[in-house]
Chains A and B, each alone.
Chain A
Amino acid sequence: MRDPFSGRKYVVVPPIVPDVAVIHAFKGDMFGNIITDSFRNDRLLAMAARKTIAVVEELVEPDAVLPGKHGVFVSRVHINAVVVAPGGAHPTACRDTYDIDTAHIMTYMEATKDEKSFLNYLEAYITGPKDHTQYLKLVKSEVNND
């Protein structure tokens, strides 16, 4: 397509508009203002999606929604729901809070090799535990056993 300003020809693609974006943030308040990891594209996702759910490590007072060294502020106008779930990024990392659970990632990678072992994984870690607390208890007990 021809750029109306420079006259040069460019390939263009339509923007992606997700129905729902789910992002994991450091902290947020009850109105949906959040601080998230500045290395990722969470703010872009929140601004592009029709609806955005922010999972936060911590619920704080509005005055405490301040970015630290690696945080970026995302206004409530882009956020539709806040879910408080400490440890919610497991088995991946949440910067400055917890590291990636490498052993669990290896377990997951092994499990994805065939249909049956993956169903077993889902049963053990996703559909089995009755809630996120129980899931975290399960994966933490495995870390302690290592």
Chain B
Amino acid sequence: MTNKAIHPFETMIIVISRLIHNGEVAATGTLSPIPAAALFLAQRQHAPDLVPMVYGDPDMRITDGLMEFFGLVQRGMVDLFFLSAIQIDQKGNFNLSVIGDHARPKLRLPGGAGSNMMAMMAKRTIFFTVTHTPKLFVPEVDFINGTAQDTSIPWRRGVVSHLATPLCLLRYDPAKGAIVLDSTYPGISLQMVAENTGFDLDIESRDIPEIAPILQEELDFLRGEVKERLQRIYPLFCSMLW
């Protein structure tokens, strides 16, 4: 079988797809080709009863756009949502608004949009990031758009479960209230992960496994059927990756 090198984004897609459970209602927002591909792959592999709500998917039908979708999430009908951020800190706080002081920022971004509500009301949230650097994983975010969990809010439904990056899979440990390393990818050392993260991932005190090997079947579906489906929604991403 011909096998070109596995791109880190392909590893991320496969790793995320394995976190998706059969029967879940799982949704993606804008600019989210990696989780969209993960949903399609999971549906093809082990989650045939998954309900993927991929923003922009011509196969999805809805009546009232984001109003209907946000309403669905607020009612607790969405099991899984995906977010990214410009900064994420050890506590699992995330920033989508500004770099620097909020009043005089070095960089101003479009902002949080519905991310705070989604992280609170979807049953769980998985983060995906297209880089893994100390600028992204910082000791403390410059602005908090949302948190990983907050027990002081009684109606909060969801927690952050995992964070997939191009270097590794992180997870949020609710007992510790901190992000820790879950598993590494083939060819990526613990040292490399630690050097590129601006806070301690609790690597020293325990054994960190490598992800289960990527199966030929997963790659074949990803580069075949999943790619075909994704191309209709994210043509630029697909031409960049494949």
User: A residues within 8 Å of B by Cβ?
Assistant: 8, 37-44, 69-70, 72
Contacts and interface: CB of A to CB of B under 8 A. Distances in A.
Contacts of A42: 65
Interface residues of B, number: 12
B62 A38 contact: yes
A142 to B, nearest CB: 20
B56 A8 contact: no
Contacts of B63: 38, 72
Query: 4 tightest CB-CB pairs across the interface, nearest first?
Result: A41-B65, A40-B65, A44-B67, A41-B67
Interface in B48-69: 55-56, 58, 61-67
B155 A41 contact: no
B65 A39 contact: yes
B154 A39 contact: no
Nearest to A44: B67
5 contacts: A8-B154, A39-B62, A41-B65, A44-B64, A72-B63
Contact of A69 (B55, B61, B65): B61
Given A8-B154, A72-B63, 15 more contacts: A8-B155, A37-B65, A38-B62, A38-B63, A38-B65, A39-B55, A39-B56, A40-B66, A41-B64, A41-B65, A41-B66, A44-B67, A69-B61, A70-B61, A72-B64
A19 to B, nearest CB: 20
A41 B67 CA distance: 7
Interface string B200-219: 00000000000000000000
Interface of B: 55-56, 58, 61-67, 154-155
Contacts of A8: 154-155
Contacts of B61: 38, 69-70
A4 B166 CA distance: 48
A70 B64 contact: no
A41 B66 CA distance: 6
Contacts of A41: 64-67
B64 A38 contact: yes
Contacts of A69: 58, 61
A117 to B, nearest CB: 20
A42 B58 CA distance: 18
A98 B65 CA distance: 20
B58 A43 contact: no
Contacts of B55: 39
Contacts of A43: 64
Nearest to B59: A69
A8 B155 CA distance: 9
Contacts of A44: 64-65, 67
A69 B59 CA distance: 9
Nearest to A102: B236
Contacts of B64: 38, 41, 43-44, 72
A41 B55 CA distance: 14
B154 A70 contact: no
Contacts of B155: 8
A69 B155 CA distance: 36
A39 B154 CA distance: 32
A49 to B, nearest CB: 14
B70 to A, nearest CB: 10
A69 B55 CA distance: 16
Contacts of A40: 65-66
B58 A70 contact: yes
